[in-house]
Amino acid sequence: MARRQARFTTQDLEGLPELEDDSPALWDESLGDVPRGLLTSAVRCFASNGFHATTTRDICGGVGLSPGALYVHFPSKELVLFEIIRVAHDRVLAYLTEPAVQAIEDPVRHLHALVARYTEWHARNHVAARVSQYELAGLSAEHYAQILETRHRTNDVFRAAVERGVTTGVFADVDVKRVSRAILSLGIDLVRWYRRDGSDSPEQLAEFTAQLALKMAMTPDLDLGPAPLATPARSAG
DSSP assignment of 23-75 equals: GGGTS-GGG-HHHHHHHHHHHHHHHHH-TTT--HHHHHHTTT--GGGHHHH-S
pLDDT score recorded for residue 197 = 87
Q: Which helix (H) or strand (E) holds 158?
A: helix 141-167
Q: Which CATH fold would you assign to the domain 77-218?
A: Tetracycline Repressor; domain 2 (1.10.357)
> pLDDT tens-digit profile of 75-133?
999 999 999 999 999 999 999 999 999 999 999 999 999 999 999 999 999 999 999 99
pLDDT score recorded for residue 7 = 64
137 vs 223, residue with greater confidence? 137
Q: Is the pLDDT reported for residue 225 higher than 70?
A: no
Q: Is the pLDDT reported for residue 221 higher than 80?
A: no
The Cα 190–Cα 59 span in angstroms is 25
Q: What is the three-class DSSP state of 197?
A: coil
2 Cβ neighbours under 8 A, 6+ residues apart: none
pLDDT score recorded for residue 67 = 84
* Confidence at 139, pLDDT banded by 50, 70, 90: very high
* Confidence at 3, pLDDT banded by 50, 70, 90: very low
10-73 in CATH: which number?
1.10.10.60
The helix, strand and coil proportions of the chain, stated in percent and rounded to the nearest 5, come to 65, 0, 35
Q: Is the pLDDT reported for residue 200 higher than 80?
A: yes
Q: Domain residues of the chain, as ranges?
A: 10-73, 77-218
Tell me the mean pLDDT in the region 186-200.
Answer: 92
